[in-house]
Amino acid sequence: MPPPPFPPAGYSEDIVRRVRVLFNGQYVVDAPNPKLVWEHPYYPVYYFLRSDISHEYLANKNIDSNGHAVYDLVVNDRTSSSAVTLFQSGPLKDYGTIGTNKADKWFEEDECFYGHPKDPYKRTQILQSSKHVRIEIDGFEVANTTHPKLLYETSLPIRTYIPHTDVRLDLLKDDLDLSTSCPYKGDASYYVVELPDGQKKPGLAWWYKTPTSECADIKGYIAFYDDKVDVWVDGVKQDSPINLKG
């Protein structure tokens, strides 16, 4: 069996990195030495000393089921409900955290980041491949390529990125209601797959119009959730995206 992921849930470490959090034009956090905390094994979040959080912007205190204090974040005429948690006990007593979607901007030093901080123990790698990859959805072929790019991301399934020109673009419509942000890859745009029989399949295909510099090679390529579509690699149907390791 593979070893358990590192870091495990509950792991934390101090870092030397100025982190600021902006809400409604005010920095509500300015932390020179925040803590990275893995609440689960997938990615970390920032925890801050109470003294690094501007308490004048905290309002409407409530106590959650674990006995910790939860506050709204209030700056002038804007309120972010239940945005800040200050821990009253346990190993993280005297620290607080802000929901990643509860503020406007997050900065590491002077660089803006989105979604969540990067995990220092994870990395991405993109490799050009000549594997023959075909993708079907409910029996309809939607992509067919012999020059995919394979994106390897620590602890995650390998994702196959396919040039737009090798995808049935006539079956794809922009999904204006769905987008996601990844600190490693950037902001993803999604397509709704509209099959010839009239079925509409949202959330199965995405691409990065302006990926981050470390993942620039996937610009203009489309990925599908391999575990939600049928994938053939070199003529062999895959049971799961992990099999693309080949």
Q: What is the pTM of this model?
A: 0.79
Same domain, 96 and 128: no
99 plus 146 within the same structural domain = no
- Predicted local confidence at residue 242, as pLDDT: 46
Domain of residue 76: give its range.
12-113
Q: Which of 113, 135, 165 is the last residue of a domain?
A: 113
Residue 3 lies in a domain: no
Both 81 and 132 in a single domain? no
* pLDDT tens digit sequence for 25-81: 999 999 999 999 999 988 999 999 999 999 999 999 999 999 999 999 999 999 999
Residue-wise pLDDT tens digits, 231-243: 999 999 998 654 4
Q: What is the CATH number of the domain that holds 79?
A: 2.170.150.40
- Would you state the structure tokens that stand for residue 54, as one six-digit string? 């501007």
Co-location of 105 and 128 in the same domain: no
Domain membership of residue 240 (yes or no) is: yes
Does 7 fall in a domain?
A: no
Final residue of a structural domain among 91, 113, 135 = 113
Q: Within a 10 A sphere around the Cβ of 3, how many other Cβ atoms?
A: 5
pLDDT value of residue 221: 97
178 & 213 share domain = yes
The per-residue pLDDT for range 161-204, each reduced to its tens digit, is 999 999 999 999 999 999 998 889 999 999 999 999 999 999 99
CA angle 23, 29, 31 (to 5 degrees): 150
Sheet with 159-163, edge to edge strand ranges: 124-128, 149-153, 159-163, 221-224, 200-207, 186-194, 172-182
CB 87 within 8 A of CB 95: yes
Three-state DSSP class for 205?
Answer: strand
Handedness of CA 209, 213, 216, 222 (dihedral sign): negative
pLDDT at 132 over 70: yes
* Per-state percent for the chain, helix, strand, coil, to nearest 5: 10, 50, 40
Domain assignment present for residue 119? The answer is no
Total tally of structural domains belonging to the chain: 2
Same domain, 177 and 215: yes
Q: Are 21 and 106 in contact (CB under 8 A)?
A: yes
Maximum pairwise Cα distance, the chain: 62
- Does 4 fall in a domain? no
pLDDT > 90: percent of the chain: 87
Which token pair is 145?
A: 């390529």
Domain boundary among 113, 146, 171: 113
**Do 79 and 182 reside in the same domain of the chain?**
no
Residue 229 and residue 134 in one domain: yes
Residue 207: CB partners within 8 Å, gap ≥ 6? 161, 164, 188, 189, 191, 218, 220, 221, 222, 223
> Average pLDDT, stretch 201-218?
94
Q: What whole-number distance in Å separates Cα of residue 92 and Cα of residue 41?
A: 17
Residue 6: inside a domain: no
Q: Which of 86-90, 122-126, 130-134, 153-157 has the lowest mean pLDDT?
A: 153-157
Same domain, 129 and 239: yes
Note whether 214 and 177 are same-domain residues.
Answer: yes
79 with 175, same domain: the answer is no
Tell whether 142 and 228 lie within a shared domain: yes
Q: Give the three-class secondary structure for 108.
A: strand
In a domain, residue 212? The reply is: yes
